[in-house]
Amino acid sequence: MPSAEREVFWADAEAHLLAPDVAHVIRDSKTPSGVVPISGLRGPIITDALYRTFKRRGLPIRYVFTIDDYDPMDSQSMRSREGMTEQMGKPLCAIPSPDGSASSFARYHAERFLSTFAGLGIRPDELHWMSDLYRGGKLDRSIRLVLDHAGLVREIYARVSNVKKDERWLPVMPICERCGRIGTTYATDWDGETVAYACRPDYVEWAEGCGTTGRISPFAGNAKLPWNLQWCAQWDLFGVTYEEGGKDLLTGGGSRDRSNELYRAIWKHEPPLGLQHEFLNIGGKKMGTSTGIGAAATDLVQVYPGELVRFLMLRTHPKRHIEFDPAGSTLPALMDEYDRCENAYVAAPESDFGKAWRLSQLSDDVAPIAVRVRFALVADWLQIPSIDPLRQAERKKGAPLTAVERADLERRIGLARVWLDRWAPDEAKFSVRAELPAAARELSPGQRAFLARAAEEIGALAGAEALQTKLYDLAKEVGLVDGGKVSRDAFASIYIALLGNPSGPRAAWLLVTLDPAFVRRRLREAAEATA
């Protein structure tokens, strides 16, 4: 495809949709109904990347983040109801903290989730708690507007989403004056100032109302709007012009379509623009405690560097799902891809790969690092006791590392240690055996001849590249050739002699990093060994 027809980078494409002469607001939110999973980071990171892109393109933009702590504890939010029967149906902000360390259940989970933002470079301009907005009367105008148009709300629910409400139902959820529940109340009879309500024992399956009936003003925090209408009320309050969302909310006939129609009909405004992001799929049981990283967003951020978490979420178009599993070779591959995108940024900052790397950084003023050591190589270095990674990196560079380069290397060392301990596949792990491995006695005559010749070259050549070339020549000379190319059996014999496995790091590099006398002795021992 000609460059002129090349698809625009996804964040830039969204920026093109916004009017340049209008003050814009981008919004995101989270319901603190429990531990936020890793997948819960994708939305905030995408929103932050869009926010940065909009700002970079000169659009006047404000980033608002809200915490939906006035939502009821329900069957979806509460995975386990054991010991929580009394709290079901109450606002999340009215439920005690699990361990007493926070003022409420909502604060406990929200504050832990929000604590990840600093390490991810997410900095909303405004943070609002829905409980404060309701109790402060900020949503009273919308509550009155909705109650005055209750019939229209019912009609749109039925037409857009096939959700049918009876003619008495009012789109507001009073807080029961007796039991404090919000998910069990049924409101009727709006008189312009108050609504009648009943806290029904059988209104929902996941909570039991107390049976109280009465009238109450729906304002100043005495009631909340159902989800779709609350969404509209926030758009109106903050003047939201852009809001992306997950696939579960933005599918046809779903919550977003319903809210869009409600916003147009009742608030008389066009709803915000916004793309839909796909899910992040987590690798099954391997994400459990056995891997050292759970399903919690906080767990991931504690282990992975922030820019790598952002890269994980941003390297793939939001409309495509992400498969993630920390086990196996996922992390080395992700790190290699990250490094390639950094190189792309250096070569072409406005390329799609370059933009993905730039948006992955924790701030807009981070410069590329001149010298990085490949993650897989760092992991190899850590498994050879004779190697000092810092000295090895400086030897590879041919000069001392800068402070930035050294800090990056130290982070990679820390992450590589965790990976080797928790997630690395067996083929990536190795250790030099103190004694000749038993497998060395099964080597073929050609492999033994190759090792005998290789032993003579240890210490005689300068550098790994020269030794690697020599090893290829020796393999050909002793007949370890397959289809005109050097057979894998040649290098497998080196790994078997030193590691006890037929594979390992780059052979010549491994040989030059070990004590030459030890290597010569071991290769000769393997060459002479017989079954």
List the domain boundaries for the chain.
8-130+228-277, 141-224, 289-428, 438-528
From the list 368, 404, 406, the residue with the least C-alpha distance to 389 is: 406
- Return the minimum-mean-pLDDT range out of 69-78, 496-505, 516-525: 69-78
Domain 438-528 grouped into CATH 1.10.3720.10: no
CATH no. for 8-130+228-277: 3.40.50.620
d(CA 387, CA 410): 15
More confident call, 345 vs 366? 345
Strands (E), 240-329: 245-246, 276-277, 280-282, 322-324
Tell me the residue length of the chain.
531
| DSSP assignment string, 377-417 | HHHHHHT-TT--HHHHHHHHHTSPPPHHHHHHHHHHHHHHH
With tokens 């190795």, the residue in question is 430
Q: Are 504 and 439 in contact (CB under 8 A)?
A: no
Task: Please name the residues in contact with 401: beta carbons below 8 A apart, sequence gap of 6 or more.
Answer: 371, 390, 393, 394, 409
| Residue 64 burial (10 A CB sphere; 0-12, 13-18, 19+) | buried
For residue 447, give both structure tokens: 């492999």
From the list 522, 530, 501, the residue with the least C-alpha distance to 455 is: 522
Q: Quote the Cα angle for 405-354-409, to 5°.
A: 15
The letter for the amino acid at 507 is A
From the list 71, 85, 63, the residue with the least C-alpha distance to 34 is: 71
Alpha carbon distances (Å) from 331 to 311, 316, 375, 450:
12, 16, 9, 35
- pLDDT of 526 higher than 90: yes
pLDDT band at 17 (very low <50, low <70, confident <90, very high): very high
- pLDDT of 318 higher than 70: yes
pLDDT of residue 243: 97
pLDDT in tens, 398-455: 999 999 999 999 999 999 999 999 889 888 888 889 899 999 999 999 999 999 999 9
d(CA 140, CA 216): 14
Same fold, 8-130+228-277 and 438-528: no
CATH no. for 289-428: 1.10.10.770
pLDDT band at 284 (very low <50, low <70, confident <90, very high): very low
pLDDT of residue 224: 97
pLDDT in tens, 46-93: 999 999 999 999 999 999 999 999 999 986 655 445 557 899 999 999
Alpha carbon distances (Å) from 276 to 32, 318, 319, 328, 359:
21, 7, 6, 30, 19
pLDDT of residue 509: 85
Average pLDDT, integer, range 283-294 = 41
pLDDT band at 129 (very low <50, low <70, confident <90, very high): very high
